[in-house]
Amino acid sequence: MSMLKRSIAALIAVGLFGLVGVSGATAAETTIPVVKKVALTPEQKAAFEAAKATFKTAQASFKAAHDARESAIAAIKPVIAAAKTARDAAIATATTPEAKKAARDAFKAAVTAAKASIPAKPVRPTKPVRP
């Protein structure tokens, strides 16, 4: 019984999609715009070539700034790990809540100082658009 219901539902769906597809295909064919490529004028071509050259230099400076940021992040990871180890050891040996708080505050100060040495995230240059 369930197989019969499934096959009837499938036939109905195929019929509906067939009807919609016929009317949709003729409507879609008439509304497709035709885009023709137009040759650039010498001024437009020169401006576009200059924009491409500027993009290349901006891309190179972005890569250099990105690499500098990545190396700075890699350099502070061991510093933060050492500060964390010192904090954990200080908390383990601390007997008063004030000593534990001081250890946490020292850790936070070390992390803040380390993060301050990271350069700002560089902005990726945008590609020039062909006129």
What secondary structure, in 3-state letters, does 37-67 show?
CCCCCHHHHHHHHHHHHHHHHHHHHHHHHHH
For residues 122 and 65, give the distance between their C-alpha atoms in angstroms, rounded to a whole number. 6
Q: What pLDDT does 37 receive?
A: 77
Tokens 């650039």 — which residue?
40
pLDDT in tens, 44-80: 999 999 999 999 999 999 999 999 999 999 999 999 9
Eight-state DSSP code of residue 36: -
Neighbours of 58 (CB within 10 A): 14
Kindly report the pTM of this predicted structure: 0.60
Task: Point out the least confidently predicted range of 22-31, 62-71, 88-97.
Answer: 22-31
Backbone angles phi, psi at 29, to 5 degrees: -70, -30
125 vs 20: which has the higher pLDDT: 125
Mean pLDDT, the chain, rounded, equals 85
Eight-state DSSP code of residue 129: P
Q: Is the dihedral of CA 90, 91, 96, 98 positive or negative?
A: positive
The answer to whether 38 and 101 are in contact (CB under 8 A) is no
Eight-state DSSP code of residue 122: P
Residue 110 one-letter amino acid = A
> Is 60 exceeded by the pLDDT of residue 23?
no
> Is 80 exceeded by the pLDDT of residue 113?
yes
